[in-house]
Amino acid sequence: MGSDIRNDSSSSGEEDGDAEWRAAINSVSSTTPSNGSAAVNGTTTTSTASPTRENQANSKSIKLYHIKAQKLLDDILEKTIEVVKHQPTKVAENHSDVNGGGVRLFRDAPVGILFDQTDELQGPLKRPRIIPNVEVDEKSRKFRKQIKSVVVEGDDILVSAKEAREKRLAKLEAMDAAAKAKARREEERVADLKKIRGERWLPAIAREMRSK
pLDDT digits (tens, 9 = 90+) for 70-89: 888 888 888 887 777 777 66
- Of 19-33, 122-136, 166-180, 186-200, give the lowest mean pLDDT range: 19-33
pLDDT of 144 reads: 84
Bigger pLDDT: 128 vs 37: 128
pLDDT of 64 reads: 83
H or E stretch including 103?
strand 102-103
The CA–CA distances, whole Å, from 19 to 26, 36, 117, 158 equal 11, 30, 76, 114
Query: Residue 7: pLDDT above 90?
Result: no
Split at pLDDT 50, 70, 90, the class of 62 is: confident
Split at pLDDT 50, 70, 90, the class of 65 is: confident
pLDDT of 104 reads: 63
Which DSSP string corresponds to 145-204?
HHHHHH---HHHHHHHHHHHHHHHHHHHHHHHHHHHHHHHHHHHHHHHHHHHH-SSHHHH
Dist. CA 177–CA 14, nearest whole Å? 141
Q: How many CA atoms lie within 13 A of 7 on its CB side?
A: 4
Query: Residue 179: pLDDT above 80?
Result: yes
pTM over 0.95: no
**DSSP symbol at 115:** P
The CA–CA distances, whole Å, from 125 to 8, 118, 130 equal 111, 20, 15
Bridge-based pairing state of the strands 102-103 and 113-114: antiparallel
**DSSP symbol at 94:** -
Give burial (CB, 10 Å; 0-12/13-18/19+) of 58. Answer: buried
Dist. CA 182–CA 190, nearest whole Å? 12
- Of 79-83, 103-107, 152-156, give the lowest mean pLDDT range: 103-107
